Amino acid sequence: MVSSTRLVLRKRTQAPIPVSVLPGSKKRSRSKKGGAEEQEDYSNACCEKCGSGEDADELLLCDKCDRGFHLFCLRPILASVPKRSWFCPSCSNNKRLTTFPLVQTKIVDFFRIQRSSLSAEAPGQDGRKRRKRTGSSLVMSKKRRKLLPFNPSEDPARRLEQMASLATALIATGTEFSNELTYMPGMAPRSANLAKHEREGMQVISKEDSQTLNLCKAKMRRGEWPPLMVVFDSLEGFTVEADRFIRDLTIITEYVGDVDYLKNRENDEGDSMMTLLSAADPSKSLVICPDKRSNIARFINGINNHTPDGKKKQNVKCVRYDVNGECRVLLIASRDIAKGERLYYDYNGYEHEYPTEHFV
């Protein structure tokens, strides 16, 4: 049931380096008066963190102070060389992370939660009915590989903390919350999202699994959130932890963002784009771009494809579905996930273009 998902990230891995150090040469151009350029030699440049000048292809020079840093020595690690100007931590003037306030009205407004549903909810009662129904069908669900709805935390205060953690991450990354695919003017229209154009076929979601997906969406609209917490790790950056036990085959979330044609994003520096449609006609291929609008899916990290331990950490898989004729991407638990365990999936489920060798 669970198949590999294709991740399109060639814009970062093959990005030109117009300002930062040129790979292998440790030289870069600087503009002089009159438009002329001069080459500055950085043959002796070393990483400020480890002191080594090796791995020149992965040694960045700050565009303000000229100090060097390896991609893998930075915290959080950078997956690839930035396309635009880059400034080191000392020169970037990064502000301290501002935590979103634990105020129900602010959280309700931020996520556009239905106020009437939230206020009318009877804590525990509705949840017990749904949990009983899910639990009683667990054996059959396992056998038939049916998707399961997430079970939100029972404590409303804890759910507010979970939502506040996501709001903190979204604000810090300049991202607007959205829980659906968005079709913006100048990008691909919704009419272009046709699953029949998939070149290798796409799994058609069953009626029951479609109902489960709709149930999850309805839960979130009324403030019943997946039991997930977004935390900031000095090595990995923002990452997602399970805040309660999550069963195998549970729908974690849908991967959402702006939908655009792949041809429009070939030179984009975004590092989180996901393939939505891989068409036989490349001009019809679509990607999801979560840099401006997204949900918690953006912050679920990838495994290190180059180590056995990295592959063992995977507990989530991406699955592309044909849902009523449209392509959708779901993140689904690929095994039981314990409370406190971080969520990981394979960024290179198909194309092997994302550089993960320095992932933890």
pTM strictly above 0.75: no
- CA 220 – CA 178 distance, rounded (Å): 11
**Tokens linked to 289:** 């771009």
- Listed in sequence order, the residues at least 6 apart from 288 whose beta carbon sits closer than 8 Å to its beta carbon are 181, 255, 256, 257, 258, 259, 273, 274, 275, 276, 329
Question: Is 37 buried (19+), middle (13-18) or exposed (0-12) by CB count in 10 A?
Answer: exposed
The span from the CA of 41 to the CA of 27, in Å, is: 5
Q: Is 129 exposed, middle or buried (0-12, 13-18, 19+ CB in 10 A)?
A: exposed
Report how far Cα 305 is from the mean position of its chain's Cα atoms.
Answer: 17
pLDDT in tens, the chain (360 residues): 333 333 333 322 222 333 344 344 444 444 444 544 444 555 678 888 888 888 777 788 888 888 888 877 776 667 667 766 777 877 766 556 678 888 889 999 999 998 654 444 444 444 433 333 333 333 434 456 899 999 999 999 999 999 999 999 999 888 999 999 999 999 999 999 999 999 987 899 999 999 999 999 999 999 898 999 999 887 778 999 999 999 999 999 999 999 999 999 877 766 678 889 999 999 999 999 998 999 999 999 888 777 777 778 899 998 999 999 999 999 999 999 999 999 998 876 555 455 455 555
Q: State the DSSP code for 261.
A: E
Q: Which helix (H) or strand (E) holds 61?
A: strand 59-61
Q: How many CB atoms within 10 Å of residue 97? A: 11
Place of tokens 């729908």: 251
Return d(Cα 299, Cα 344) in angstroms, integer.
Answer: 10
CA distance 146 to 206: 9
Backbone angles phi, psi at 68, to 5 degrees: -100, 150
